Structure 1
């Protein structure tokens, strides 16, 4: 750990924290807790592995819980995109079991290897933490890069052979719900999820400037985005009403309902540029664009013959 006084054989976590705080007054409370955790564990791979896995589970199921509650409250049915399709407790439990199996068999080994991989490529795990502005900039870049990865890989997943053998599992629920964000085959979890990890790793290789705390904040926000886009609810305060290029539940729910189009994860621009938007409004806009293009072509031809 950088900038932290080495400690003699630690006994308790809080004992380490008290001792470390005496000699590292330049660190804030969170930074002292972070440094104390690594000093207490005496094994950086184990410390990062436990912290990463617990963080992932708490964020995933913690963010899914409000949607489970909302599904049981009739008041919110007015905001349900596919109002007649409310997931049953049995469906949510079935989904949870597959998600947990995937977390422990597919994601846990990857999480355990994350620390040595991150250190190999130069990711910082020490203290002090980077400025908030720098972390925010990195996270914004990761959102853009991951969205590009997700669009093209997800679109490839809808190629018939891959859809039948890999992606079809994720489309079991035509009306998605929060817990179903990571309801997918192990192959899909690895390939589509790789964008969340590979983009920051690529950034680290190119710039040599990334802290693992930025990675944690990025993964937390990415999980929030994935779960919310599968929630099945469209509110007047949904983010895309304020950021028109944001995708959200309204964008992704149509994908699950119609099984095609709207392939991007966070933003709408790839679907717009590649003409893969789905839904009645997108179809209407597409027809209008084609009609306008045909009209301009006709006018151009008329001018040539005049």
Structure 2
């Protein structure tokens, strides 16, 4: 556990820290507003939805690429050290992966610039979602279970359990890319198999 904390803090200082120097000029250059008026609820909703969809699609392909032999062995293997991840292990990754998977997170604000409040809220929600997905817990009070095509902890746990040989469940938030491109078949097969085993051994 301490190894995870230490590594994440070190990686953030080295890989993310220097980016803060250029963050404000970059935000202004991209056209993200920093002055009044604040965004309306409707503007917040539709822009956050667009950001989630854009990030999810781009993340799917980068994550899938990270499971190619060279990129997995040299970069993504660090993140898969945790077969049963914990919430804090969400950002436990090689510094190059932090940068690579940071690209999809910035794509939405780049393509659809909004207000700085929307920008901050987007990153807060995305990090909270990543922590929940890696937590290993399906919280009964979480609103995410009502979101269509949401993956969640069980979905991503399978990806970590299979590890480097995993060729499925690449989605970061939603599952539609895995369904469209057929990379959820292994998970669905295992899920049906375990459900059948449970039914066969169910005590009346």
TM-score (norm 2): 0.86
CA distance in 2, matches of 1:113, 1:199: 19
Is 1:153 aligned to residue 59 of structure 2?
A: no
Change (3 A) 1:275 1:115: same
Match of 2:9 among 87, 96, 100: 100
In structure 2, the residue matched to 1:81 is: none
CA distance in 1, matches of 2:138, 2:82: 17
Is 1:221 aligned to residue 125 of structure 2?
A: yes
Q: Give yes or no for contact 2:76–2:93 (8 Å, CA) kept in 1.
A: yes
In structure 1, the residue matched to 2:159 is: 255
Greater relative contact order (CA < 8 Å, ≥ 6 in sequence): 2
Change (3 A) 1:135 1:268: same
Deviation at 1:281, TM superposition (A): 3.1
Deviation at 1:156, TM superposition (A): 0.2
Q: Could you say which structure has the larger radius of gyration?
A: 1
Deviation at 1:118, TM superposition (A): 1.2
1:95 counterpart SS class: helix
Unaligned runs of 5+ in 1: 1-91, 205-209, 286-306
Is 1:270 aligned to residue 177 of structure 2?
A: yes
Q: Give yes or no for contact 2:87–2:132 (8 Å, CA) kept in 1.
A: yes
Equivalences, count: 189
Unaligned runs of 5+ in 2: 193-204
CA distance in 1, matches of 2:180, 2:189: 12
Q: Give yes or no for contact 1:239–1:248 (8 Å, CA) kept in 2.
A: no
Q: Give yes or no for contact 1:178–1:230 (8 Å, CA) kept in 2.
A: yes
Deviation at 1:121, TM superposition (A): 1.9
Alignment of 1:179-258 (within 5 A): 179-204=88-113, 210-239=114-143, 241-258=145-162
Q: Give yes or no for contact 2:34–2:115 (8 Å, CA) kept in 1.
A: yes
Deviation at 1:239, TM superposition (A): 4.6
In structure 2, the residue matched to 1:46 is: none
TM-score (norm 1): 0.59
Q: Give yes or no for contact 1:166–1:188 (8 Å, CA) kept in 2.
A: yes
Is 1:111 aligned to residue 15 of structure 2?
A: no
